[in-house]
Amino acid sequence: MKHPMDLMMGLLIVTGLLMVSAIVLALGIAPDAVNLATPTERFAQRIFYFHVPNWWVGFLAYLVAAVAGALYLISRQERWDAIGVSSIEVGLTFNTIGLVSGSIWAKPTWNTWWTWEPRLTTAAIGWLMYVGYLMLRSAIENPQRRARFAAVFSILAFLDVPIIFLAIRWWRTIHPVVIGSEGGQGVGGFALGPTIQLVFFFCLGAFTLLYVTLMLVRLRTEFLSQRVERLRQHLMFR
């Protein structure tokens, strides 16, 4: 039976390798996108390989947290609370990186650092929601209450995300609707050739693995701290 630390190391190494490959593929090997005018734009487009997986992982993280919240409320097992907080912390990190990377891409492409378009605005609101989640947690001392409130909030927040997105989308749009459209609309859109698709999905996979790895690392810390609490209770029972 392999020692858990060995497995963890193994996972870290694999993730590291995949991420490096992803970077190489995205920045170097993937072909230039067609209908983009300037070289700056063409290079900036490559951020798409990181940006979109980033969003995907952020979304996944929040989904996992909501499900973990529901499972906590049902079972009252503290491990679900650990999964919830770990997922949201990791998700928030990706969310932040996504907002920043999106902004970096926006400058050369749309000539603005920020714009109030649906995906971006929803992401910003999501960011605020989950920062609120962390603030809620830090304001409660009782661990059971903290877990309960956190669970309720993460479920409600997640269910609200599609509604928020819909509302903002009805309001405005200039973000390139790349997936599920006929060859790329909006300013800065581009067509998805087969190689581009391959690289994209590779990066998606690499990012998802990165999420899992970071989650496990964070979970380990959380489980350890839960174990310390249990031991403390045990000692006090004398």
Residues binding other proteins (CB under 8 A):
73, 125-126, 128-129, 132, 135-136, 139-145, 148-149, 151-153, 155-157, 159-160, 163-164, 166-168, 170-171, 229, 232-233, 236-237
- CB of 77: closest distance to other proteins in angstroms? 14
Torsions phi, psi for 144 (to 5 deg): -70, -40
Helix (H) or strand (E) holding 90: helix 78-110
- The residue (of 5 and 139) whose beta carbon lies closer to other proteins is 139
Q: What angle do CA 30, 34, 44 make, to 5 degrees?
A: 60
Nearer to other proteins, 46 or 175 (CB): 175
User: Cβ of residue 234: shortest distance to other proteins, in angstroms?
Assistant: 9
Closest CB to other proteins among 19 and 125? 125
Compute the least distance from the CB of residue 192 to other proteins, in Å. Answer: 30
Determine phi and psi for 186, rounding to 5 degrees.
70, 165
CB proximity list for 187: less than 8 A, separation 6 or greater? 109, 110, 174, 176
CB 209 within 8 A of CB 15: yes
Tell me how far, at minimum, the Cβ of 150 lies from other proteins, in Å. 10
Asked if 119 and 175 touch (Cβ cutoff 8 Å), the reply is yes
In whole angstroms, the minimum distance from the beta carbon of 156 to other proteins comes to 6
Comparing CB distances to other proteins, the nearer of 111 and 233 is 233
Nearer to other proteins, 124 or 212 (CB): 124
Structure tokens given for 43: 């290079």
